[in-house]
Structure 1
Amino acid sequence: MALMATSALQAQHMNIGVKGGFNFYNVVNENNSDSESLPGFNVGLIGHFHLSDQFALQPELVFSTQGSKLSNNGDESHLNLNYLNIPILIQYMFDNGFRIFAGPQAGILLNAKSYTNNTEIDRTNDFNNMEIGASLGMSYINPNSNFGIDARYNVGLSDIYENDAQVAYNRGIQIGLFYLFKHK
């Protein structure tokens, strides 16, 4: 089956690209604590495989800064989470350059740090190494320039904490630019 899938993908049109942009992520707890979105960035690689004239498969490999900030009695703390996200998106491509997409996303935690009153604490061991989520969004590519813009909502479906005492999920919006080499 792997050989058949590889042959089918090789027979279709394939593009490689780069992407980068801004994140607005939050960690949503089950106890409904009042945390705020933390601005960040993402940068990565895109594979874009045309399955037909209107459908494409787009796997990505993206470094993403995520987390949240929380104010408590005048003290502001930040939770910074760095992930290597791997979304696999199915796209529907309209004839005018617009696209809509959805798909699963796996996130590999690279590190986790919290900052309160200029004190940094490594919290990587407090979090699961892997996160499962989903992505939903839309994009537009200008066929003449091969540049595009992308907007998506990422929702974590698995608990990010290692222990059972806390349950929380990543939620975030990403807005960015991408470039596909030799786009057709």
Structure 2
Amino acid sequence: MKKLIFVAVLALVSMTTFSQAQFGLKAGLNVANLTGDDMDGADPRSGGVFGVFAKINLTETIAFQPEALYSMQGATGSETEQGYDIDVTMKLDYINIPLMMKFYPADGFSINAGPQVGFLASAKAKAETQGISAEEDIKEAFKSIDFGLNVGLGYDLPMGLGLDFRYNIGLSNVLDTDEGEGKNGVLQFTASYAF
């Protein structure tokens, strides 16, 4: 009976908390790269990011914001083989779950930080040379889960609009190999709308 009462109270508190939450959509631009010993010479890949969020105000100055985002990441580079210049794009797309804490030191302005777990949705390498291109699935070469830490700044505009600037620091080696290391690093610029 005590367990039943505890579960009922927990469900009621959860419903009350989420009924006070603001839900919304966000979308923007990633400038992503891979860093590590095996990634020297890699250049950034630009891609989109979009998804949903819930903002839960804990106090007047602190909010918790879990998100679910589809994030286009990876890197680009070039190499020369047999006299031909080959441009390579590594497309790593993730479903990321950031758990952000937002601190509001001034009206509308926020400082944001929180952990993130990412699930690899797609991994492809595209090579181009002299107008010829080929794409290959490379998902087996990467780990399916990535961990990171987000830090950033935000500003909430009137009528539910918001702007965020964020950097994701990759904490785990995403290469699925015993040798070599590659970590995600992503600059992210997003606009959001809260209902």
Q: Same fold (TM over 0.5)?
A: yes
2:3 corresponding residue in structure 1: none
State how far apart, in whole Å, the 2-side matches of 1:127 and 1:38 are: 17
2:44 corresponding residue in structure 1: 37
* Cα separation, partners in 2 of 1:141 and 1:9, compared to 1, 3 Å: farther
State how far apart, in whole Å, the 2-side matches of 1:34 and 1:81 are: 17
Aligned 1:12-161 pairs, distance under 5 A: 13-73=20-80, 74-117=85-128, 118-142=133-157, 144-161=158-175
State how far apart, in whole Å, the 2-side matches of 1:34 and 1:154 are: 20
Q: Does the 8 Å contact 2:39/2:182 carry over to 1?
A: no
1:145 positional shift: 1.7
Gaps of 5+ in 2: 1-5
Residue 163 (1) aligns with residue 169 (2): no
Deviates more, 1:105-114 or 1:116-125: 116-125
TM-score by length of 2: 0.86
1:2-57 deviation digits (Å, cap 9, x = unpaired) = 86497167247311010000000001122451010000010000110011111110
Please tell me the residue identity of whatever aligns with 1:7. V
TM-score by length of 1: 0.91
Q: Does the 8 Å contact 2:17/2:56 carry over to 1?
A: no
1:71-99 deviation digits (Å, cap 9, x = unpaired) = 11221101000100000011102342011
Secondary structure of the residue aligned to 2:43 is strand
Point out 4+ residue stretches in structure 1 off by more than 4 angstroms: 1-6
Secondary structure of the residue aligned to 1:84 is strand
State how far apart, in whole Å, the 1-side matches of 2:56 and 2:42 are: 38
Q: Does the 8 Å contact 1:152/1:173 carry over to 2?
A: yes
1:67 positional shift: 0.5
1:176 corresponding residue in structure 2: 190
Secondary structure of the residue aligned to 1:10 is helix
Higher helix share: 2
